[in-house]
């Protein structure tokens, strides 16, 4: 791989190298928790769940037991990629008519108690660790429990997000004080102890997922939601199950890129990659306006399609195979002009005649046997709804905000339904051998498919190491809108920005503390000599660590 492609992309950090496993997360103490589990004899699944739990403690403003998660897992002995959908469903009592009677028209308000969906994370942690891990839950969760009981210093960026969450959400709910210090958010470097969260994690370690869906914690969740005015019921929690699903993939040059299928929008990544290949993207220069223009236009088309077709596959038919067909990629690529951005791109019809056919944490782990785990967990927007079940120490997600109030749309609100989901883990394998290549993710709502596209291109088209790929300046179609404004990071060449503007793109440049809007990513890549290369996003507080 190329360590430095040009002076423009000199890495701000060195990549981390190791041979016996790697962990990359958005919080150093969570990375260390995962490494400790690897050192204790655990594998990638054990270390991933340990890191997930430690992130619940150290970054509760983004993730935790009250949210959902998705997992991609590469098993070295079988050479397979498996996918876990750990997202929960809407309350059985939450009908479209009920939302309209409450005065809502297009969408639910972002933090309304109606947006609380069943938290899928506790079940998914247990199910992933049971299927692939080799340790017991007490061992795996011990580092997180210790952090919650004895305290940890809060990272600088996390402290800012935490304070915002206290002011905007936690302070409005009865038990939000469980995540505050004297009624406020923590300062950077301040030591925080979360005893009620430690208790919840201990229950998970000792009793597994059952209490969270049919026991004492389930009852506390339902009571807290009811107190806030929501309709989540015990039956909703009791009906929840994680789903093992078949991952989707596309071939990009010499690699297969893997994503979880809908109800998530990983499909957008694969659509954009297919469009780029149909455009002859590999011939585009490594820098400059031509490359960014093609990537932006491909994402416009991909978002137009996923926002039209993606929802809960249990409620509507989603033409995934047709959307990923070669004919369809060529058809969509034909809409792109190199001279000017398209106006108001709309979704395509992959079944037409002629067809051949939120806030989040992302982290990744690899181990000495060659297994790898791509894992993402989220409350959606910050602390989600900010509703904290009494004595539990974590907040409940607002994933129901992802629904639209349209009965004809695949993502229309309905009872017991999974919403359009923004959190996506990524994984790549060698197309010819089936061997593991990388695990990657870039957290941040609608930025996630755009981040995947940009880091995949950096890793494969330009052969950058993971840290250099994460350091590279990024673009974002704001809020994933196909006709939206294009946000550019200030590290990109001003001449490139001017060129893009001349092609009709509406450009806005962001810098400083706005940089996390471009996503916080982690990558682990396995080199041809078997060495793991790790990177962690410079826009966040995290790091990668490995075992030599």
Query: For 117-167, how does the pLDDT look when each residue is reduced to its tens digit (9 = 90+)?
Result: 999 999 999 999 999 999 999 999 999 999 999 999 999 989 999 999 999
162, two tokens: 């935490």
Read off the pLDDT of each residue in 477-493 and give the average, rounded to a whole number: 86
CATH number of 245-360+423-517: 1.10.246.130
Closest to 120 measured CA to CA, from 250, 213, 197, 34: 213
Per-residue model confidence (pLDDT) at position 416 = 97
| Residue 254 burial (C-beta neighbours within 10 Å; 0-12, 13-18, 19+) | exposed
* pLDDT score at 1: 56
All structural domains of the chain with their residue ranges:
245-360+423-517
> Would you state the pLDDT for residue 287?
64
Q: 315-346: b or e for each residue (b if 16 or more CB lie within 10 Å)? A: eeebbbebbbbeebbebbbeebeeeebbeebe
Comparing 139 with 316, the larger pLDDT belongs to 139
| Model confidence band, residue 400 (pLDDT cutoffs 50, 70, 90) | very high
pLDDT recorded at residue 348: 75
Q: What is the pTM of this model?
A: 0.94
* Mean pLDDT score, 258-268: 95
Mean pLDDT of the chain: 92
CA angle at 321 for the pair 320 and 327, rounded to the nearest 5°:
115
Please calculate the CA angle 115-119-121 and round it to the nearest 5 degrees.
Answer: 140
Q: CA-CA distance, 179 to 170, in Å (whole number)?
A: 8
What pLDDT is attached to residue 2? 54
What is the percent of the chain where pLDDT is above 90?
80
Which range is least confidently modeled, 20-24, 107-111, 480-484?
A: 480-484
Q: Which long-range contacts (CB under 8 A, 24 or more apart) does 326-330 make?
A: 326/274, 326/278, 326/356, 327/354, 327/355, 327/356, 327/357, 328/274, 328/355, 328/357, 329/271, 329/274, 329/275, 329/277, 329/278, 330/278
């Amino acid at each position: 791989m190329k360590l430095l492609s040009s002076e423009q992309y000199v890495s701000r950090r060195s990549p981390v190298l190791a041979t016996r496993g790697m962990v990359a997360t958005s919080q150093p103490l969570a990375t260390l928790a995962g490494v400790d589990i690897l050192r204790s004899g655990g594998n990638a699944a054990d270390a991933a769940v340990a890191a997930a739990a430690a992130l619940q403690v150290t970054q509760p403003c983004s993730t935790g037991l009250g949210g959902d998660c998705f997992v991609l897992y590469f098993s070295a002995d079988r050479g397979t990629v498996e996918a876990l959908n750990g997202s929960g469903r809407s309350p059985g009592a939450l009908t479209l008519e009920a939302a309209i009677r409450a005065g809502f028209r297009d969408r639910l308000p972002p933090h309304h108690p109606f947006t609380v969906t069943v938290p899928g994370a506790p079940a998914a942690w247990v199910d992933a660790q049971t299927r692939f891990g080799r340790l017991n839950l007490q061992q795996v969760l011990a580092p997180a429990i210790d952090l919650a009981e004895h305290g940890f210093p809060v990272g600088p960026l996390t402290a800012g997000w935490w304070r915002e969450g206290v002011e905007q959400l936690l302070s409005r709910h009865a038990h939000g004080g469980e995540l505050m210090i004297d009624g406020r958010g923590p300062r950077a470097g301040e030591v925080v102890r979360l005893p009620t969260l430690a208790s919840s994690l201990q229950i998970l370690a000792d009793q597994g997922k059952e209490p969270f869906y049919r026991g004492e914690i389930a009852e506390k969740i339902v009571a807290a939601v009811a107190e806030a005015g929501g309709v989540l019921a015990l039956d909703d929690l009791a009906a929840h199950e994680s789903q093992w699903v078949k991952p989707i993939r596309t071939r990009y040059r010499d690699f297969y890129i893997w994503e979880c299928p809908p109800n998530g929008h990983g499909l957008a990544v694969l659509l954009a990659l297919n469009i780029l290949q149909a455009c002859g993207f590999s011939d585009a220069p490594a820098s400059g306006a031509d490359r960014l223009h093609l990537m932006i236009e491909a994402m416009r088309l991909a978002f137009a399609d996923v926002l039209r077709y993606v929802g809960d596959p249990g409620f509507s038919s989603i033409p995934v195979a047709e959307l990923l067909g070669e004919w369809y990629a060529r058809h969509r690529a034909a809409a792109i002009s190199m001279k000017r951005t398209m106006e108001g791109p709309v979704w395509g019809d992959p079944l037409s005649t002629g067809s051949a056919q939120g806030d989040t944490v992302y982290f990744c782990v690899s181990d000495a046997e060659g297994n790898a785990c791509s894992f993402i967990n989220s409350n959606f927007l910050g602390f989600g709804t900010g509703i904290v079940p009494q004595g539990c120490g974590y907040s409940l997600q607002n994933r129901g905000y992802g629904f639209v109030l349209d009965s004809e749309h695949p993502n229309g609100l309905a009872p017991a339904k999974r919403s359009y989901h923004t959190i996506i883990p990524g994984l790549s394998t060698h197309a010819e051998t089936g061997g593991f290549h990388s695990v990657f993710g870039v957290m941040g709502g609608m930025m996630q498919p755009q981040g995947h596209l940009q880091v995949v291109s950096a890793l494969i088209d330009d052969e950058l190491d993971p840290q250099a790929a994460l350091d590279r300046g990024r673009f974002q179609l704001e809020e994933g809108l196909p006709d939206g404004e294009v946000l550019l990071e200030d590290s990109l060449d001003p001449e490139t920005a001017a060129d893009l503007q001349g092609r009709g793109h509406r450009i806005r440049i962001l810098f400083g503390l706005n940089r996390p809007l471009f996503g916080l990513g982690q990558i682990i890549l396995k080199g041809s000599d078997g060495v793991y290369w790790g990177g962690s996003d410079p826009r966040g507080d995290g790091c990668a660590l490995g075992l030599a």
